[in-house]
């Protein structure tokens, strides 16, 4: 009897303590496109837990990553800032420790949250520009299951997760188990918690969990309507100069589509199972009613659309990603709501801080996503900048997107190239099949989008960090500056090279 009373008191105290501030779970996949989930319209896949999460919460149909590559995107999600303010990306440099200290995990922990992180951390820290890499910030979390670089699919190779290797030899389910165990531990505390998990899946090299080999065995997948080289002829010459173009063939989207996609979707199915493990733990520990869950990806992925593979470029498949939020406390939950409001990964950090009742630092560029959860027709952004300063110089570009339009400025104009503009009316042409920049009737829209572009570039010039070669892009991306002047500013690659 005494043990029973103690157990009940423990559960009640945890529930009462969390009632004031919600628990937060932030789940991020790696390289997941929107057409990998049933709730985003793909009838060929099996994602029951994610689909249920979307039905119970809210699905965001216009959510973008401001840089479509792992390192920069993860830095942005943590800090709520555009890449040119984090100073963090491959070819440029690592994140300064003082920048990390203003990230959402650090601010939440300072405010009394229990914090945990597992998976691919995605970037390194340094004390000063050009300094040596610091150890990963395991001590900045109450529970740590993170790893450096790309981490490994084999759980045993991830040092902080090795204890899970016997039962969960593939890392995806090990992260589900990590989340489950942390929730059980947090239930004994009087503190609210923030759990962040960054799955490695479905990042290349494709390594699915053999446990799910039968899920898509022999499956034929419907190709997207913008699949193939012929659907990308109108894209700029600049966009075809790096490995995103080559990988349509070298990664076999061109000739073994069903086989490649079966592997890709199998990895996401395992994430779906891991999400189920985490949600089951919340229910078992009586914490489900006070826990906000956010699910997204660090960037999207070309799976043959327009004749491209991989990510990086500011087109829809690479830059628009899934986002589901579920707040069980909100009356809008359970209504199967969707929103077409424009949102971005700069919004995660400020949203989590607001959920915790904390002020949002002025340095953050994002807005509170929960305003849209309260009203799906609300707006928090008129426009978002999409950035690429990774890889070969011709593919470096800045774009701007509104809810209905996208403008891309390809400024590289070395011999053999010319400045190219692209304009898409996404409301009518979500597959980006018609470049309206060459349509005289679109001239007013072009002028409007150019002005939006110039406004975002002026912020870059004003706010870009003075290190890691970000200031020069204020000139490189200036559409009013002659190519010769811009070419002189093209930065050389920095010291943060890593596998993309």
Cβ neighbours for 402, distance < 8 A, ≥ 6 positions apart: 342, 382, 383, 449, 452
**pLDDT average, residue stretch 385-414:** 97
**pLDDT average, residue stretch 422-433:** 98
Domains within the chain, CATH numbers bracketed: 21-381 (3.40.720.10), 386-487 (3.30.1120.10)
- What pLDDT was estimated at residue 491? 82
**pLDDT average, residue stretch 330-346:** 97
Phi, psi at residue 398, to the nearest 5°?
-125, 140
For residues 22 and 30, the answer to whether their CB atoms sit within 8 Å is no
Crossing angle (nearest 10°) for helices 70-79 and 348-355: 30
- What pLDDT was estimated at residue 494? 54
375 confidence band (pLDDT: 50, 70, 90) = very high
Cβ neighbours for 3, distance < 8 A, ≥ 6 positions apart: none
pTM: 0.94
Which tokens in the block code for residue 328?
Answer: 């069980």
For residues 232 and 58, the answer to whether their CB atoms sit within 8 Å is no
**pLDDT average, residue stretch 153-161:** 98
Which tokens in the block code for residue 306?
Answer: 């327009």
Answer whether residue 58 shows pLDDT above 60: yes
**pLDDT average, residue stretch 401-426:** 97
Q: What is the pLDDT of residues 267-281, one digit of tens each?
A: 999 999 999 999 999
Of 397, 377, 402, 395, the C-alpha closest to 320 is 402
Q: What is the pLDDT of residues 310-330, one digit of tens each?
A: 999 999 999 999 999 999 999
State how far the Cα of 173 lies from the Cα of 148, in Å rounded to an integer: 19
**pLDDT average, residue stretch 373-398:** 97
Q: What is the pLDDT of residues 450-492, one digit of tens each?
A: 999 999 999 999 999 999 999 999 999 999 999 999 999 998 7
- What pLDDT was estimated at residue 427? 96
Going by DSSP bridges, is the β-strand pair 405-410/397-401 parallel, antiparallel, or unpaired?
antiparallel
- N residues, the chain: 500
Answer whether residue 3 shows pLDDT above 60: no
376's enclosing H/E stretch is none
Answer whether residue 436 shows pLDDT above 80: yes
Residue 379, class by beta-carbon neighbours within 10 Å (0-12 exposed, 13-18 middle, 19+ buried)?
A: middle
9 confidence band (pLDDT: 50, 70, 90) = very low
For residues 286 and 187, the answer to whether their CB atoms sit within 8 Å is yes
499 confidence band (pLDDT: 50, 70, 90) = low
Q: What is the pLDDT of residues 200-242, one digit of tens each?
A: 999 999 999 999 999 999 999 999 999 999 999 999 999 999 9
> 421: which strand partners?
409
For residues 347 and 366, the answer to whether their CB atoms sit within 8 Å is yes
- What pLDDT was estimated at residue 500? 60
**pLDDT average, residue stretch 272-292:** 98
Radius of gyration of the chain (CA): 22
**pLDDT average, residue stretch 32-55:** 97
Of 317, 299, 316, 311, the C-alpha closest to 244 is 311
Which tokens in the block code for residue 195?
Answer: 């759990």
């Amino acid at each position: 009897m005494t043990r029973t009373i103690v157990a009940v008191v423990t559960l009640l105290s945890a529930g009462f303590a969390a009632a004031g501030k919600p628990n937060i779970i932030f789940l991020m996949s790696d390289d997941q496109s929107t057409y990998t989930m049933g709730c985003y319209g793909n009838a060929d896949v099996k994602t029951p837990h994610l689909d249920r999460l979307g039905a119970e919460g809210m699905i965001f149909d216009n959510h973008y990553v401001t840089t479509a590559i792992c390192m920069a995107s993860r830095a942005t999600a943590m800090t709520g800032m555009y890449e040119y303010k984090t100073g963090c990306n491959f070819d440029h440099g690592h994140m300064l420790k003082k920048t990390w200290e203003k990230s959402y995990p650090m601010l939440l922990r300072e405010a009394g949250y229990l914090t945990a992180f597992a998976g691919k951390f995605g970037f390194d820290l340094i004390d000063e520009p050009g300094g040596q890499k610091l150890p990963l910030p395991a001590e900045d979390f109450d529970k740590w299951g993170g790893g450096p670089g790309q981490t490994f699919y084999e759980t045993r190779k991830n040092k902080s997760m090795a204890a899970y290797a016997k039962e969960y030899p593939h890392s995806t389910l090990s992260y589900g188990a990590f989340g489950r165990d942390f929730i059980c531990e947090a239930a004994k505390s009087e503190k609210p918690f923030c759990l962040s998990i960054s799955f490695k899946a479905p990042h290349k090299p494709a390594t699915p969990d053999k446990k799910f080999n039968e899920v898509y065995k022999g499956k034929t997948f419907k190709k997207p309507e913008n699949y193939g080289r012929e659907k990308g002829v109108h894209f700029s010459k600049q966009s075809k100069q790096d490995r995103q173009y080559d990988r349509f063939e070298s990664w076999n989207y061109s000739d073994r589509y069903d086989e490649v996609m079966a592997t890709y979707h199998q990895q996401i199915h395992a994430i779906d199972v891991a999400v189920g493990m985490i949600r089951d733990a919340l229910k078992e520990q009586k914490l489900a009613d006070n826990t906000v869950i956010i699910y997204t990806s660090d960037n999207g992925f070309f799976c043959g659309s327009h004749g491209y593979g991989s990510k990086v470029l500011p087109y829809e498949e690479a830059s628009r990603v899934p986002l589901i939020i579920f707040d069980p406390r909100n009356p809008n939950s359970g209504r199967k709501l969707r929103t077409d409001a424009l949102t971005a990964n700069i919004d995660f950090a400020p949203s989590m801080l607001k959920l915790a009742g904390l002020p949002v630092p002025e340095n953050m560029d994002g807005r509170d996503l929960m305003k849209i959860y309260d009203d799906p027709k609300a707006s928090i952004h008129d426009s978002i900048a999409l950035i690429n300063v990774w890889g070969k110089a011709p593919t470096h570009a800045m774009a701007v997107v509104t809810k209905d339009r996208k403008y891309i400025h390809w400024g590289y104009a070395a011999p053999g190239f010319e400045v190219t503009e692209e304009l898409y009316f996404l409301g009518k042409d979500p597959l980006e099949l018609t470049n309206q920049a060459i349509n005289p009737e679109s001239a007013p829209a072009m002028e409007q989008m150019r002005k939006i572009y110039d406004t975002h570039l002026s912020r870059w010039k004003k706010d870009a960090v003075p290190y890691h070669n970000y200031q020069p892009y204020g000139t490189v991306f200036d559409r009013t500056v002659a190519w010769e002047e811009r070419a002189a500013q093209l930065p050389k690659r920095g010291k943060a090279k890593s596998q993309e």
